[in-house]
């Protein structure tokens, strides 16, 4: 069973899907669990039901929104892909500090493959657990904002929040 929770945030509604154990399997700035379910790896998909309480993930999101920018760091996430680089890159992405975004080039270097800029960008694009795995902290190689599944307005808000 997958549990769905939606929280109101200053950046818009934020929904996350968790396993029975509380691991976040998908998250994004939407009210639709149906929009998130296709992001969950097929091996992790299950029936979706509304959660009865926000759980630790929701508590961490609320703490993050009120200024504890490291509150999301301890939330367990569960996502899979076919490529070992992408899974490793997602772990590395969690180490990018709030208020200190990096470029795709910098992210590729942090992930140990400085020439793999496109693979680093692809890891951002394939990230199913927005906010918890902070792909919003990765910028275009020229330092500008690039695509974000949930919109550049949300990405801008998140980066501004982390800068404050």
Which residues are identified as catalytic? 135
Closest CA to 129 of 22, 40, 62: 40
Residue 89: partners with Cβ closer than 8 Å, 6 or more residues away: 107, 111, 119, 120, 123
DSSP per-residue string spanning 61-101: HHHHHTT-TTGGGG--B----S-HHHHHHHHHHTTSPTT--
How far is it, in rounded angstroms, from Cα 27 to Cα 6? 10
To which H or E segment does residue 25 belong?
strand 24-28
Quick one: DSSP state of residue 150? T
């Amino acid at each position: 069973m997958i549990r769905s929770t939606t929280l109101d945030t200053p950046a818009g509604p934020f929904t996350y899907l968790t396993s029975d154990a509380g691991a976040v399997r998908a998250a994004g700035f939407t009210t639709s669990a149906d929009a998130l379910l296709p992001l969950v790896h097929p091996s992790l998909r299950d029936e979706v039901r509304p959660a009865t309480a926000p759980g630790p993930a929701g508590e961490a999101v609320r703490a993050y929104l009120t200024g504890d920018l490291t509150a999301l760091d301890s939330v367990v996430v569960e996502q899979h892909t076919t490529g070992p680089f992408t899974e490793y890159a997602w772990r590395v992405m969690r180490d990018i500090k709030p208020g200190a975004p990096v470029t795709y080039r910098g992210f590729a270097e942090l992930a140990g493959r400085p020439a793999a800029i496109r693979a680093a960008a692809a890891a951002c694009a394939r990230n199913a657990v927005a906010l918890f795995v902070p792909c919003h902290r990765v910028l275009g190689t020229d330092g500008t904002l690039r695509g974000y599944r949930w919109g550049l307005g949300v990405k801008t808000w998140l980066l501004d929040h982390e800068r404050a």
